[in-house]
Chains A and B, each alone.
Chain A
């Protein structure tokens, strides 16, 4: 029996402080490339990754959200209806890195909680 193939799209939010490597990580995953120069993301960048799983098309839609403080006012609105979040923090700045991770986790859970409500 022929099983009809399905099409899935999932929004994945990528967050973390500015300059920790969010854009580089996503670019490496989706395009296989790496840029040495640092260019900060303005607002948000969008990337895709397509995969076929058991014949079904699956598209991951990455929202790489700017980490600079200037975009704090906007960030949580971009999380809306995300299926997953990737929190990125730098190991080079140990204490600040953990603080940033904890902060990001809290923000994500709060946003998800508000969405469910």
Chain B
């Protein structure tokens, strides 16, 4: 393994950052009338955004009539999908590749909708047809599309599971992909030990015909340490023992985020 010390206090991608725009093709925000309030990434560029939002609204209403009590959440087309979320009578829709995990899409939609509602809550519902105020949000969407996605996902994950630190490591490239830990916890020596631990646990598991090892949870005096591996990607998550954490949730959420990230890394390789 490389001898670089990648210690950092701030979440940092130590690889080339893959932005949200590498995964998401376009974003639409529209109201229940089907009027597009703002959008970005429309392709082709001469496509009228209100045509898109109008059709999506009509499809949504048709779906609700077709099967009462249900909601159209996504439209899947060859290689692509449109995914919707509705908050406060405003629909947030993204168009992306169909292999992007739904949980990642939900994360993106939540980020956008939270920001939109934070800024415009007092202006909703729109009573006078004036949509000028929403034009500023276009700039936010452009900046948002340039943000690194995996970094954002892991920061969000770390925050939600109340972790002290998260490290993501690529075994093939021998590189730390993400590290948000106190300075002394992300040396290559520590990561190597995690790798050896997983490999040893795998051997032990096979002895008991347990199959491949998905995750190891270590209970030590001061910390919980969760180590998980998928193919060539490791994740190490640290938790303080002073916090009240549900262990099954730790394992479940750690494996979930690792699965999503692996899918996204595979998308990167294909696109």
Chain A interface residues toward B at CB < 8 A: 4-11, 43-44, 46, 48, 59, 61, 63, 73-74, 77-78, 80-83
Contact = CB atoms under 8 A, between A and B. Distances in A.
Query: Lowest 6 A-B CB distances belong to which pairs?
Result: A81-B33, A77-B61, A8-B129, A11-B33, A46-B54, A7-B132
A81 B31 contact: yes
B55 A46 contact: yes
B25 to A, nearest CB: 22
Interface residues of B, number: 22
A73 B135 CA distance: 36
B262 interface: no
Contact of B50 (A44, A46, A83): A46
Given A8-B129, A10-B129, A74-B62, A63 B32 contact: no
Contacts of B247: none
B48 interface: yes
Given A81-B33, A82-B33, A9 B131 contact: yes
B65 A80 contact: no
B65 A73 contact: yes
A8 B65 CA distance: 30
Contacts of A74: 61-62, 65
A72 B264 CA distance: 44
A94 B33 CA distance: 33
A77 to B, nearest CB: 4
Given A77-B64, A80-B33, 5 more contacts: A6-B132, A7-B135, A11-B33, A46-B50, A82-B33
A84 to B, nearest CB: 10
A111 to B, nearest CB: 13
A14 to B, nearest CB: 13
Contacts of A6: 130, 132
Nearest to A46: B54
A44 B58 contact: yes
Contacts of B51: 46
A3 B135 CA distance: 17
A9 B131 CA distance: 7
B34 A11 contact: yes
Contacts of B34: 11, 61, 63
Nearest to B134: A7
A4 B48 CA distance: 24
16 contacts: A7-B135, A8-B130, A8-B131, A44-B58, A46-B50, A46-B51, A61-B34, A61-B50, A63-B34, A74-B62, A77-B65, A80-B33, A80-B61, A81-B33, A81-B35, A83-B129
A109 to B, nearest CB: 18
Contacts of A7: 130-132, 135
